[in-house]
Amino acid sequence: MVTQAVVLPAHDAQALAEAYLADGWQADWAALRTLDIARTGEDREAVTAALRAVYLPWLDSGAMALQKLASDGEVCFALPSKPPAPPTRAVLLFVDGLRMDLAQQLGDLLRAQGATVQVSRAWSGFPTVTATCKGLASPAAGVLAAASSADLIPFYQGKPAQKPVLLKAIEAAGWSTAESLLGDEPLWREIGRFDERGHVLGADLAMQAHDLLIEVADIALRLARQGRRVRIVTDHGWLLMPGGLPQAQLVAGLTVAGGKGHRVATLKEGAPTTYPRLPWSWDKGVLLATATGARAFYAGVEYAHSGVSPQECVLPVLDIVAEPAAAPVIIKPTWQRLRLKVEVQGGAGLMFDVRLGGDISGESILPKGARPLDELGQVGVLIPDEHEGKQVCLVVHPPNAPQDVRAKQTALIEG
């Protein structure tokens, strides 16, 4: 699939983003899957060489195209605005670093468990760092403001909107930040570890991606099955290249102290540069240099973000709906010699049977076959005495569907 990666449109930012949402992400996922399969030794070396020969030029081409469009003012990077009033029981799940390819796989995981999932897109802010973009993805975007560009983070009530302050701002916007089983108030919750693990593992993030997706899917599905309206948002994506992204050189002394990130740099006033300079999302008067193509300002970096590329800037938005989980069906038998009374929790309207042997494949030993459970999920049956001492399987199933077993339990008829 990497060798068949589609060329993303370079003439229009919206067309590029739509193409990446539709098909472009598949090349990124194919690269991750290949790295997951070839984990060590000669296999990893061969895969690394192949990805650098085929995948890296494709990454570079897409990034160059989007950077040109951004320099021409054609990219609608996210800006601070007040979000609309949330619907009742809404949930915003924030997942740091949920790249589009991972989001598409997450959608498939949720659909396989019965959920309805719609994947759409949004633009990130600039630069694509958590400090800048998390606030833009939050319900507090309208109450945050730029007070300093030193750490590329907005402020709330005079304080940098790091996690505790941001949560306070989100609560002030009318959202809960603590989950409650009974509450109907809108909920903001932060889950997922993709960005954290990416910075630690580099290209080896590929080996943990699936397990990390399952963690997010479990939480999202549980909330959706509670009748919540679940939306998953993120702040930025990332570039990943085994062996490291090519380095973008910066002349020493041109950046302010602490002003160089993996793919963005804050230059000193009047410093000359050929790198594209784009405005900070929280203050258009602050211009930041972005590394060209798929390059990084540090050598040997395998996992990087903060620049401009489809992978970093075209963000997934997932809307998830799921039916409530079915209540478990539990059999509670009471024996009086050969008389059996059962109460089946969640069994009203179902059928009860006793089958010979220790599994569901045996024949019914009830003289008239399976018996209906009443509105309380109860029924009493008499076991023929010739089955005394035998093992049986107590079975619950829908009417006219004896193989659709909803609950089973083995028992020994002692007489």
Q: How far, in Å, CA of 227 to CA of 256, rounded?
A: 50
pLDDT (0 to 100) of residue 403: 87
Q: What share of the chain is helix, strand, coil (3-state, %, to 5)?
A: 30, 25, 45
Taking all residues of the chain, what is their mean pLDDT, rounded to a whole number?
Answer: 93
**Residue-wise DSSP of 207-258:** GTHHHHHHHHHHHHHHHHHTT-EEEEE-S---EE-TT-PPBPP--TT-EEEE
> In angstroms, how far apart are the furthest CA atoms of the chain?
98
Task: Count CB-CB contacts under 10 A for residue 372.
Answer: 12
Q: What is the CATH number of domain 330-412?
A: 2.60.40
CA angle 149, 279, 273 (to 5 degrees): 95
What predicted TM-score, i.e. pTM, was given to this entire model?
A: 0.80
| DSSP H or E stretch at residue 194 | helix 194-201
Question: Which stretches in the chain have pLDDT values below 50?
Answer: none
pLDDT (0 to 100) of residue 257: 74
* Boundaries of every domain in the chain: 74-325, 330-412
pLDDT digits (tens, 9 = 90+) for 6-43: 889 999 999 999 999 999 999 999 999 999 999 999 99
pLDDT (0 to 100) of residue 270: 83
Q: How far, in Å, CA of 95 to CA of 196, rounded?
A: 11
